Amino acid sequence: MKFRFWGTRGSLPAPGPDTLVYGGNSTCCSIEHEGRHLVIDAGSGIRLLGAELMGPGPMGGSEDASLEVTLLMTHLHFDHIMGFPFFAPAYTPGAVIRLGGWPKCLKGIKGMFKNGRYDGGFPVSFAELPSKILRDEALTPPRFAWQGMEVRTTPLNHPQGAVGYRFEAPGGALVFITDNELAVGAPPPKALVEFCSGAAVLIHDAQYLPSEMDICAGRGHSEFRACLALAQAAGAGRLILTHHDPGRTDAQIEAMIDQARAEAGSLPVEGAREGQTLEL
Ligand SMILES: [Zn+2]
Ligand SMILES: [Zn+2]
């Protein structure tokens, strides 16, 4: 199973010279397994993923009637869905996009195309898309299978809610939890520790610094110390911090990761980088 980060930024894309290392696109990841493609979230990073799925050709891709993509949503906040109208497979006749995870994912995707949001909101309507975009009821939390791989979900602590995912990959479990607030200075919730138990890789939201939580508590994001506590309690093999704050430069993320490593003992810690791949 091959996992890849296409967007690691939280809240808003942040392109520019200060975000070249960790990336400027908002949340999107992909899993490739047995020749099939699964996507988690449709932040601005999904545009690049769509271009790669389409391959070289005029207008960024040739028409591939056999293209089938599974898209699991964590929730519908704008930074996690904003890229979908620029996802090339959606404009490909015959392509099938199966939506799952967050209960209202289809409604949310349709909403991105609604011109009624405000005058001139988007030039294309959902009904005009030539691909087939459907809610796949087989991809319903809290547990389902994808390509023979067991997938579990967990509810997260986030305004309006969100779901985290655990994939039982051949080389160990990968847990993806973004947009989740872990309480500062408190033990991690038992249910979440169980959900992350023994994961080879734990990817977790660490948008804020410990020093920012006085102001930022309640916004639904975590700081690295609480992530370390969760990873250690769960016996995770590796911790990758993501959903980087849009105002955080590469140098500042590097400093945060250095601090986390200094406190992590033997647990390997890193910052999620756009384009980074993991094999499991
Ligand atoms: Zn977010
Ligand atoms: Zn959110």
Is the per-residue pLDDT at 124 higher than 50?
A: yes
Query: What pLDDT score does 63 carry?
Result: 54
Which ligand has the shortest distance to the CA of 28? 1
**pLDDT tens readout for residues 185-216:** 999 999 999 999 999 999 999 999 999 999 99
Query: What pLDDT score does 115 carry?
Result: 65
Choose the weakest-confidence range: 50-54, 117-121, 171-175, 192-196: 117-121
Give me ligand 2 centre to Cα 162, in Å: 7
- Domain boundaries, position 227: 2-279
Q: Which long-range contacts (CB under 8 A, 24 or more apart) does 250-253 make?
A: 250/18, 250/19, 250/20, 250/21, 250/22, 251/18, 253/21, 253/22
pTM attached to this predicted model: 0.96
Confidence band of 117 (pLDDT split at 50, 70, 90): low
Which ligand has the shortest distance to the CA of 82? 1
Query: What pLDDT score does 160 carry?
Result: 96
Q: Tokens 């655990």, residue?
A: 166
Q: What percent of the chain has pLDDT over 90?
A: 91
**pLDDT tens readout for residues 62-112:** 555 579 999 999 999 999 999 999 999 999 999 999 999 999 999 999 999
Give me ligand 1 centre to Cα 152, in Å: 20
What are the tokens at 137? 């009821």
**pLDDT tens readout for residues 36-51:** 999 999 999 999 999 9
What are the tokens at 71? 């898209």
Query: What pLDDT score does 164 carry?
Result: 98
**Whole-number Å distance between alpha carbons of 177 and 149:** 18
Helix (H/G/I), strand (E/B), else coil: 66: coil
What does pLDDT average to over the chain? 94
Is the per-residue pLDDT at 113 higher than 50?
A: yes
Domain with residue 83: its CATH number is: 3.60.15.10
Which ligand has the shortest distance to the CA of 159? 2
Confidence band of 122 (pLDDT split at 50, 70, 90): confident
Confidence band of 59 (pLDDT split at 50, 70, 90): very low
Is the per-residue pLDDT at 118 higher than 80?
A: no
Q: What is the mean pLDDT of residues 122-144?
A: 95
Total domains in the fold of the chain: 1
Give me ligand 1 centre to Cα 62, in Å: 32
Give me ligand 1 centre to Cα 51, in Å: 23
